[in-house]
Chain A
Amino acid sequence: MRSAFDRARALAALGAAMLACAGCTHAPCGLTVWAIGSEADALERMVPGFEASHPGSSVCVQELAWSSAQARLLSAVAAGDPPDVAQVGDTDIAMLVTLHALRPERHIADDFFPGALQVTRFDGVSYGVPWYVDTRLLFYRPDILRRAGFDRPARTWNGWLKQMRAVRRILGPGQYALLAPTNEYEFLEVLALQEPAPMLRDGDRYSNFTSTSFQRALSFYKSLYQGHLAPRVDDRQLVNLWWEMARGDFVFYVSGPWNIGEFRRFLPPRDEDLWMTAPMPGPDGPGVSIIGGSDFVVFRASHRVRLAREFIRYMLADEQQVRLYELTGDLPARRGVWRLPPLSTDIKLQAFRSQLERVRPFEAIPEWDEIMDGMRRMAARVAAGDATVRGATARFDRTVDGWLAKRREFLARSRFPAAMPPRGDSLGAKAR
């Protein structure tokens, strides 16, 4: 019932079916677009507008699931039959670039958030168009913070620590200052990015997790759990974190923009003042955060490049970017859109607006997700007291070096350097 080979077989069958089906759906479609989850729904609703403004064109949107999107793109590329356009999570671009699957992108707009643009760029060439962006920052309870004697969240780690300790004193049993679920790596990634040294070195050829920078970030992370400021839970252990937050079980919560919608969905309007957003504090001043989101990519194999670009341009116009926000809560990748309501008027979005100016891109390599997941598991051990910061990072360094062996070989052999441009480019690094 649960055999490994059944699974492999199922995947193979799926692949074959996809091949067959990709062929059959292509024919009547002027343009095939693969999108993921709720974005696919949103796209489907915006497609009629595009078709109306481009007579004679027809667009087919195919929906993928987040859990299998990468696998389907990979098998489509391997089978030589990808769609024309796809929505790609920005940590997945590196793999498609490595496979030579994507067409370099042209200039579409000037006002993208620089961090978002940067993760699509490899060796100075951009391979994707940022569609929407996402970052992590603080959700918090202003009323409890005020009761503890603070007007607003601190800007520095030390200030933040002080606030959390103060808050902890006025909380009841089973209540915590911070919720940072242990099944997400983003919080620690944020902390690590706030430190000067990168997590990988030598053009992302070797691991750099034993740097003092990372050890400092990990120590801070560890102290939050060991000091009982944050519970060691993964977010699936929570029944309804929005209610729990409203009840005062957590005062700070490090999370992303979709939670604005979730808070509003689960809490009644009168509770709107129970929560607020603020930018991340940093080691010694306003901190950077990560940049995430999705990009549009055009595949090399596509014969409809012109139409594909038209489509992307259409979807990135002000009107569609606002529409996307309204349909999904996804934040527009273009700054200009933020001057329009409702983005300009929603006060809870303003912290995101400023945080998005202060982001530091991740190392866009195919292994990044795996490295981050490994980091999360390593950090969970440290937070649980099962390993020391020094020991865990040393071991993890060796593991990551092992994972990167293929990459080193690839870079040594390949004409195509899939490395990031030097860090100096990053706006985020300057902002600190």
Chain B
Amino acid sequence: MKRKRSTGALFVLPALVLLAVFVFIPLIGVLGLSLTDFGVYSLADSANLHVIGAANYWHLLRDREAWQALETTLVVVVVGVPATLFLSLVSALMIESIAERWRGMFRTALFVPVVCSTVAIAISWRYLLNTRFGLVNHLLALLGLGAPDWLGSPHLAILAITIVVVWKGFGYGMIIVSAARKEIPDELYDAARIEGAGVHQRLLRITVPMLAPTLGLLALLDVSGYWQLFAEPYVLTQGGPLGSTTSLLLLMYERGFRWWRWGAASAIAVALTAVMWLFAWVQRHTRAGWRGE
């Protein structure tokens, strides 16, 4: 028995070592850094390195830019995640109703943004959203609508970022939902038809609840992905206009890797991670469902 346990430990050891090297040690390092005022001057002379306790966190709490970044990030999460899930679900279900020979083409088309480089996508969208020459405003003009300044106005810029993020993200969910949809036995639909459920009833009472665990998983992935929003605003707007698209991660990047305030940046990183873990924990413990556990 004892021997068995040590053999087991041997098998998980590589994974543990990897976790330690790539997750725990950096995490503890970042946690430690966040309690100091580590920066360029500390690098020059270690006498300039102080442990300042939670000061970085207190600063964060009183930092307007941090609150704005939090708001920006939350907007993208709160608007973007449901939108992504909705589009993933709808596109997955709609693609099924397309004639088989076109299906692959549509699926690929919708999946392409997922595998494209974010930078390339952001650059294309910058052109699409150009106020004067962009395709988006051109189409709006055809509909007789105004020409909004997508990337120039703070409210629209965050919307534009959300649109780009969702557009890039939902194809992945679509593939996952498609696969999960195929797992639902046809008999369930047959049974429901015999029992008198129409198309909508079958969708709402069978398809959606059967996909719920998958959608829940996707929601977790999307929340954690969007919570770490970085590349889109970095390329599309550099966090502007007026800081309206500076996400928390972008703020952390700027403070850490542009202005070398590692202590302050680490505090943001720790806060980001803590919220993420909190979310995962809540998600785990509220996951109701027929798969039990």
Contacts and interface: CB of A to CB of B under 8 A. Distances in A.
Interface string A325-349: 0000000000000000000000000
Interface of B: 22-23, 26-27, 30, 37, 39-41, 43-45, 47-48, 126-127, 130-133, 151-152, 225, 228-231, 237-238, 240-243, 249, 252-253, 257-260, 269, 272-273
A4 interface: yes
Interface in A201-243: 232-234, 236-237, 239
Nearest to A68: B257
Interface string A168-212: 000000100000001100000000000000000000000000000
Interface string A62-104: 0000000001001001100000000000000001001110000
A278 B48 CA distance: 46
Interface string A105-122: 000000000000000000
A95 B39 CA distance: 11
Contacts of B273: 4-5
Interface in A342-372: 366-367, 369-370
B41 A98 contact: yes
B26 A9 contact: yes
A14 B258 CA distance: 17
Contact of B41 (A4, A182, A410): A410
A99 B43 contact: yes
A12 B26 contact: yes
A407 B130 contact: no
Contact of A380 (B37, B43, B242, B249): B242
A182 B241 contact: yes
Contacts of B253: 7
Contacts of B48: 406, 409-410, 413
Given A5-B23, A5-B26, A370-B258, A381 B41 contact: no
Nearest to A377: B243
A78 B133 CA distance: 47
B249 A2 contact: yes
B258 to A, nearest CB: 7
A1 interface: yes
Contacts of B242: 377, 380-381, 384, 386
A8 B30 contact: yes
Given A95-B260, A99-B44, 12 more contacts: A4-B228, A5-B30, A9-B26, A234-B151, A237-B130, A237-B152, A377-B240, A384-B242, A386-B242, A410-B41, A410-B45, A410-B48
B131 A237 contact: yes
Nearest to B123: A236
Nearest to B22: A9
Contacts of A95: 40, 260
A232 B241 CA distance: 9
A53 interface: no
In order of increasing CB-CB distance, the 8 nearest A-B pairs are A2-B228, A370-B259, A410-B41, A4-B269, A99-B44, A406-B41, A98-B44, A239-B133
Nearest to A395: B64
Given A174-B132, A237-B130, A413-B48, A4 B272 contact: yes
Secondary structure class of chain A's binding surface, majority of residues: helix
B45 to A, nearest CB: 6
A89 to B, nearest CB: 13
A29 B31 CA distance: 40
A4 to B, nearest CB: 5
A239 B252 contact: no
- Specify which of A9, A232, A367, A410 lies most central, judged by the most chain B CB atoms within 10 Å of its CB: A410
Contacts of B243: 377
Given A5-B26, A8-B26, A410 B225 contact: no
B44 A410 contact: yes
A39 to B, nearest CB: 21
Contacts of B260: 74, 95, 366
Given A236-B126, A237-B152, A369-B258, A413 B241 contact: no
Nearest to A238: B130
24 contacts: A2-B230, A2-B231, A4-B249, A4-B269, A5-B26, A5-B27, A5-B273, A7-B230, A8-B269, A74-B40, A74-B43, A74-B260, A100-B44, A183-B240, A234-B152, A239-B127, A366-B260, A370-B258, A380-B240, A384-B241, A384-B242, A407-B41, A410-B41, A410-B48
Nearest to B129: A237
Nearest to B30: A8
A11 interface: yes
B272 A366 contact: no
Contacts of A1: 225, 228
Contact of B152 (A78, A100, A233): A233
Contacts of B272: 4
Contacts of B27: 5
B47 A232 contact: no
B39 A380 contact: no
A98 B40 CA distance: 8
A406 B264 CA distance: 13
Contacts of B43: 74, 77-78, 99
